[in-house]
Structure 1
Amino acid sequence: MKKILFSAVTAIMLFSCQNDKTESSDPDLNVASRRGCASQEVLEGQLKANPALALKMNEIEAFTAKHSLDKFTGRLVNGKIEIPVVVNVLYRTTAQNISDAQIQSQIDVLNKDFNALNSDYNNVPALFSGVKANIGITFVLDQVIRKSTTKTSWGTNDAMKKTAQGGLAPTSPTTKLNLWSCVIGNDILGYAQFPGGPSSTDGVVIDYRYFGLSGAANAPFNLGRTGTHEVGHWMNLRHIWGDATCGSDLVADTPTHNEENYGVPAYPHYSTCAGNPVEMTMNYMDYTNDNAMYMFTNGQKTRISAIFTTGGARASFAQ
């Protein structure tokens, strides 16, 4: 188990992501072979634009450490936190204009994965069965907003979130989770803004090819787990390898990983970090294929819970 540390330097290292750069001139033909995101790039841009962000992130971490065991007393439905979701679809082609069914399939996946209702939840190895968690958060589709565009790709500078750049601004971002479906480019599957960033760009971006279960979704990322991974970031979860060799994800009950894992790793996969722990490659916050990730931990649950408590970074969702 890892020692939980955080600093301004750690803030700059969060969400380190890798991606393949091979890409067809027609984005509808591209299928990524490895999981990749652009969160570090986005984070570094935000830090340059607002150097105070690192201090704000430190304050969030201090609050999380102090209040992670507090009971949530806000907006509960059937005993669970319920989050309304707005999906913003930016499309150039018919394929990119994903269907309502594909959108709902992503909501359904989030509800299963965040409530331990996913069919592969029982695949968690016995070694980790004592820490596997039901996060207890539900998602309800609130609205779908569609906009035709001539852009072939949107990149990672949050252009899809800005009307002045042809995108769609987030709807009520302090009380609703906004998702964007679009062509990101450069084999980036998605990226998220973690707590602390500006509300004007808050939310999660998912390339339309990896959004939900149906339509344009492509294997090995066709089970909606890109959404689960990125929403995990939006809820203040770090990559399980801590974005550094033998780094810390600020969670006590996840093993220390050498680095990210890709594909479908054979179990057990041992780390060469201190103690040679078995890596939790099936955790949603690793980089494995959709069919190889299927669990959160109790430590991740308490970390998530803290941001929704009174005074937490996403306490406004209690309204």
Structure 2
Amino acid sequence: MKKILLSASLLAMLFSCQSEDSKVVAENNAAQRQCASQEVLERQLREDPEMALRMNKIEEFTENFTKSNPNYRLVNGKIQIPVVVNVLYKTTAENISLAQIQSQIDVLNKDFNATNSDYGQVPALFSGVKANVGISFVLDQVIRKSTTKTSWGTNDAIKKTNQGGLAAVTPTTKLNLWVCTIGGGILGYAQFPGGASATDGVVIDSKYLGTTGRATYPFNLGRTATHEVGHWMNLRHIWGDATCGSDLVADTPTHNTANYGVPTYPHLSTCSGTPVEMTMNYMDYTDDRGMYMFSLGQKARMDAVFAVGGSRASFRN
């Protein structure tokens, strides 16, 4: 279907640039899905030059791992991820209910185990590469903090107590998920493997978490967290954050750029070979009801993160 994995020596170049086209698209679609993970990555790379070296090593490990497991039928043992939810609120509405939080945990379990009700909608063209990732999530604890901030932005202040936020709880063995009002039209963002432990985790705007309570259409099916946790497990946007870019996965078609709303299938790329785009992939920018699959190649990248020697091997049971 497409592209080979890039070598580690090329990754620094990939991480350091995002196409102007995709930035313009994001700016012009403030009411549509916006994920700030790539922008956060670029900021972190500027602030911490050693991070690029760490990420290159992770990519080298991932490339070797996926090459040695070409069938993507990997058994890493049972991976169950405890989730610490850090809720920062100013208003009563922002202090979301436990039911809304649990609904998000339920969605993650369905989406990462191919038990989501829309999994059967995957087109026949992609049925051979659709994946059951096989990772489960359990709510570990909920921590709440009242704040005077109306929005938190994407500079990781929410993760720092000296800036009014909440510090990560044992981030080497627990996924920290911060819930707040982010602002700027951003639905969420994640930290890729290789970043600092103190800021590791995922941030989701409370209006786009879970399936009940404050969850707001068309992002009310919990897929924002599925998308961001995908980043946390080392997945890139499916268009590679560049026109006809690479997401470092061999079995996902080359996309022109992000897709929004719910595109009519089949949606053809104008990139080389004009492939049908996998718009229903969780790592695109479609509305929640329009995304419902990971690919086997993406599963392999996630498996590599948790494999012995992987960057998140400490999460193994």
Q: What TM-score, normalized by structure 1, do the two folds share?
A: 0.92
Quick one: distance in 1 between partners of 2:149 and 2:177?
18
The alignment status of 1:8 with 2:12, answered yes or no, reads: yes
Which residue of the partner structure matches residue 291 of structure 1?
289
Quick one: distance in 1 between partners of 2:18 and 2:163?
27
Quick one: distance in 2 between partners of 1:163 and 1:43?
21
**How much has 1:41 moved relative to structure 2?**
2.3
Which residue of the partner structure matches residue 264 of structure 1?
262
Q: Is the 8 A contact 2:178 2:203 kept in 1?
A: yes
Which residue of the partner structure matches residue 249 of structure 1?
247
2:231 to 212, 217, 233: 233
Quick one: distance in 1 between partners of 2:11 and 2:152?
31
**How much has 1:49 moved relative to structure 2?**
1.3
1:38-117 paired onto structure 2 within 5 Å? 38-68=36-66, 69=69, 71-73=74-76, 76=78, 81-117=79-115
One-letter code of the match for 1:42? V
Q: Is the 8 A contact 1:14 1:238 kept in 2?
A: no
In structure 2, do the counterparts of structure 1 residues 254 and 21 end up closer, same or farther at CA, with 3 Å as the change threshold? closer
2:213 to 215, 236, 243: 215
Q: Is the 8 A contact 1:19 1:187 kept in 2?
A: no
Tell me how large the CA RMSD over aligned residues is: 1.7
- Of residues 108-117 and 3-12 in structure 1, the stretch that sits farther from structure 2 once superposed is 3-12
Q: Is the 8 A contact 1:111 1:138 kept in 2?
A: yes
- Of residues 12-21 and 88-97 in structure 1, the stretch that sits farther from structure 2 once superposed is 12-21
- Of residues 224-233 and 6-15 in structure 1, the stretch that sits farther from structure 2 once superposed is 6-15
In structure 2, do the counterparts of structure 1 residues 116 and 280 end up closer, same or farther at CA, with 3 Å as the change threshold? same
**Structure 2: gaps spanning 5 or more residues:** none
Aligned-pair identity (%): 71
**How much has 1:3 moved relative to structure 2?**
2.9
Which residue of the partner structure matches residue 275 of structure 1?
273
Quick one: distance in 1 between partners of 2:92 and 2:65?
46
The residue matched to 2:165 in structure 1 has which SS?
Answer: coil
- Of residues 52-61 and 63-72 in structure 1, the stretch that sits farther from structure 2 once superposed is 63-72
**Structure 1: gaps spanning 5 or more residues:** 23-31
Q: Provide runs of 4+ in structure 1 moved above 6 Å.
A: 14-17
Q: Which string of whole-angstrom CA distances, capped at 9 and with x for unpartnered residues, describes residues 231-253 of structure 1?
A: 00000000000111111100000
Which residue of the partner structure matches residue 175 of structure 1?
173
**How much has 1:164 moved relative to structure 2?**
0.4
1:131-170 paired onto structure 2 within 5 Å? 131-170=129-168
The residue matched to 1:169 in structure 2 has which SS?
Answer: coil
Q: Which string of whole-angstrom CA distances, capped at 9 and with x for unpartnered residues, describes residues 79-111 of structure 1?
A: xx1000000000000100000000000000000
Quick one: distance in 2 between partners of 1:173 and 1:264?
35
Quick one: distance in 1 between partners of 2:226 and 2:83?
13
In structure 2, do the counterparts of structure 1 residues 213 and 57 end up closer, same or farther at CA, with 3 Å as the change threshold? same
The residue matched to 1:277 in structure 2 has which SS?
Answer: coil
In structure 2, do the counterparts of structure 1 residues 37 and 20 end up closer, same or farther at CA, with 3 Å as the change threshold? same
How many aligned residue pairs are there? 305
**How much has 1:14 moved relative to structure 2?**
6.8
In structure 2, do the counterparts of structure 1 residues 200 and 72 end up closer, same or farther at CA, with 3 Å as the change threshold? farther
Q: Is the 8 A contact 1:13 1:40 kept in 2?
A: no
Quick one: distance in 1 between partners of 2:51 and 2:107?
32
Which residue of the partner structure matches residue 27 of structure 1?
none
